[in-house]
Amino acid sequence: MGEPAIVWFRRDLRLDDHPALDAALARGAVVIPVYIADAREEGDWPLGGASRWWLHHSLRALAAALEGCGSRLLVRQGDAGRELLSLAAECGARTVYFGRRYEPAARAGEQELLQRLQQGGLEAATFNTSVWHEPSAVRSVSGGAYQVFTAYYRACQVRLDQGTPAPPPARMAPAERWPRSMSIEDLGLLPRWDWAGGLRQAWQPGETGAQAALDRFLKAGAADYDRLRDRPDREGTSLLSPHLHWGEIGPRRLWQRLRRVQAAGNRAGPVGASEGLAAFLRELHWREFAHHLLWHFPQTARQPLRPEFQRFPWVEDDEGYRAWCRGQTGYPIVDAGMRQLWATGWMHNRVRMIAASFLVKDLQIHWERGAAWFWDTLVDADLANNTLGWQWTAGCGADAAPYFRVFNPVLQAERFDPEGSYVRRWVPELAKLASRWLHRPWQAPAAVCEEAGVHLGRTYPAPIVDHETARQRALAAFDRIKRRRAPRV
């Protein structure tokens, strides 16, 4: 029997194509799998409620998969360095294998951890288990970081094919004596009162759920992704974002599956000509770009990349913020998105942009408050992507939408939810309203509202702000920070 080796699972909760696990098995080691809940890895962005729910079920799925291979998942809590050293002493391991993380707190902690493990007599090997491209590896011609997505994406095209993904192990040699372990339930990840019914109905956390989501998408939606990805009323997205965030599917496996579909041909045309798959690949690279940015500009998790936005006159509007969080703004597409988020832990990306624009531009509330709400309620809450999305919308980040691009929630809804089925699902109090008025109920004739059972201010709120007035206010505020000059230091 081989020497024990610890494999530390982090944001890579799978057995398929897991480079750290595969390296340990290749040495003939008896693998000691462990998950360590170390709050320091999250820094000042502790896991939100929806993320904790997902993590609980993902860990249970991973534990079941390991048991199916003859192994088991150990669970520890506390300082990762201390727990790894303790675990190594208990099982006689001299090597630790784990995947790298790229968020600022986790990244800083890794450097300290590697030194502690070395001082404790352990060898540590780290691997890329969660992204296509190492954030530090893709550089501009000048050697710096990319801040424009198109240039970044172009540079990544030569780096896509990174080898054949390894299959999951069929069997793993068990330890002669398993070290101590907590139960997953002991981590206290589930809510004290059960608000997660919608999450249970919408999702299957874990590696099996990830593969099922990918299968569904490739069979039913991938070929039309370029046409349907912006339509919240249609099933045109992959729903892979939480599975990718938690590492329940690896980037090499995903790339292999995409290539197979292209090679087999589909409705969009011959190999390489699928506009749907090409659009999907491009969108996946926004995730990569987000990690690239956060790696090179770690301060952006809390601060705008564009320093002039430090002077932006954000508004303290707690009442407006609460209405936005609850889906009670009076703008149906915004409210539908916020209610979908609360019910399922997810929101369609087009609607995320509309809802975010409404908060930071119509209400002029600081983007960080919106990022915090998304962080707590999204099952795919990812620091890199959350930061990129909010700073893009606010106009203060890399490759940001121009600040003067203010999403009109009515026009956006009429374009991307033309029949109103998305709004009718999530804002049922408007379900009987005619499509002509559905996205602007405050303009509907009184008789039409009466017939549909819609009473503004009672059954559904009137708009909490006039969009055109708010738009002009936001543009005036932006103009002021453009004209001001930062003081010389």
Active site residue 67: no
Active site residue 385: no
Same CATH fold assignment for domains 131-165+207-296 and 307-483: no
Active site residue 349: yes
Q: Are 176 and 218 in contact (CB under 8 A)?
A: no
Active site residue 314: yes
Q: Please give the pLDDT value at position 474.
A: 94
Active site residue 283: yes
Residue 191, class by beta-carbon neighbours within 10 Å (0-12 exposed, 13-18 middle, 19+ buried)? middle
Taking the C-alpha atoms of 141, 143, 145 and 150 in order, what is their torsion angle to the nearest 10 degrees?
10
Catalytic residue among 42, 134, 275, 283: 283
Catalytic residue among 54, 203, 342, 367: 367
Interval 67-114: pLDDT, tens: 999 999 999 999 999 999 999 999 999 999 999 999 999 999 999 999
Domain parsing of the chain, residue ranges: 4-130, 131-165+207-296, 307-483
Catalytic residue among 246, 390, 392, 437: 390
Catalytic residue among 275, 286, 414, 442: 286
Using alpha carbons, list the distances in angstroms from residue 311 to 277, 302, 304, 316, 396: 41, 15, 10, 15, 11
Using alpha carbons only, what angle is made at residue 447 by residues 445 and 453, rounded to the nearest 5 degrees? 105
3-state DSSP call for residue 302?
A: coil
Catalytic residue among 42, 134, 349, 408: 349
The DSSP secondary-structure symbol of 312 reads -
Active site residue 295: no
Q: Spell out the per-residue pLDDT of the chain, length 489, in tens.
A: 689 999 999 999 999 999 999 999 999 989 999 999 999 999 999 999 999 999 999 999 999 999 999 999 999 999 999 999 999 999 999 999 999 999 999 999 999 999 999 999 999 999 999 999 999 999 998 999 999 999 999 999 888 777 889 999 999 999 999 999 999 999 999 998 889 899 999 999 999 999 999 999 998 888 899 999 999 999 999 999 999 999 999 999 999 998 888 777 644 444 344 788 999 999 999 999 999 999 999 999 999 999 989 999 999 999 999 999 999 999 999 999 999 999 999 999 999 999 999 999 999 999 999 999 999 999 999 999 999 999 999 999 987 667 778 999 999 999 999 999 999 999 999 999 999 999 999 999 999 999 999 999 999 999 999 999 999 999 999 988 877 644 433
Q: Please give the pLDDT value at position 484.
A: 64
Burial 431-441 (b: 16+ CB within 10 A, else e): eebeeebbbbb
Q: Please give the pLDDT value at position 259.
A: 86
Q: Which residue has the tokens 């988020």?
A: 341
Sequence-ordered alpha helix ranges (H) in 122-204:
149-156, 197-202
Interval 147-180: pLDDT, tens: 999 999 999 988 877 788 999 999 999 999 999 9
Using alpha carbons, list the distances in angstroms from residue 87 to 95, 155, 184: 11, 42, 17
Using alpha carbons, list the distances in angstroms from residue 438 to 234, 324, 423, 431, 457: 18, 19, 8, 8, 16
- Class at the top of the CATH hierarchy for domain 307-483: mainly alpha
What superfamily in CATH does domain 4-130 come from?
HUPs (3.40.50.620)
Q: Please give the pLDDT value at position 217.
A: 95
CA–CA gap between residue 263 and residue 199 (Å, rounded): 35
**CATH classification for the domain delimited by 131-165+207-296, as one of 1.25.40.80, 1.10.274.10, 3.40.50.1370, 3.40.91.10:** 1.25.40.80
Nearest 5°: phi and psi at 144? -100, -170
Q: What is the pTM of this model?
A: 0.95
Catalytic residue among 314, 408, 414, 442: 314
Sequence-ordered alpha helix ranges (H) in 221-317:
225-228, 241-245, 251-264, 275-296
Q: Please give the pLDDT value at position 158.
A: 82
CA–CA gap between residue 330 and residue 31 (Å, rounded): 55
Alpha-carbon Rg for the chain in angstroms: 24
CA–CA gap between residue 102 and residue 303 (Å, rounded): 18
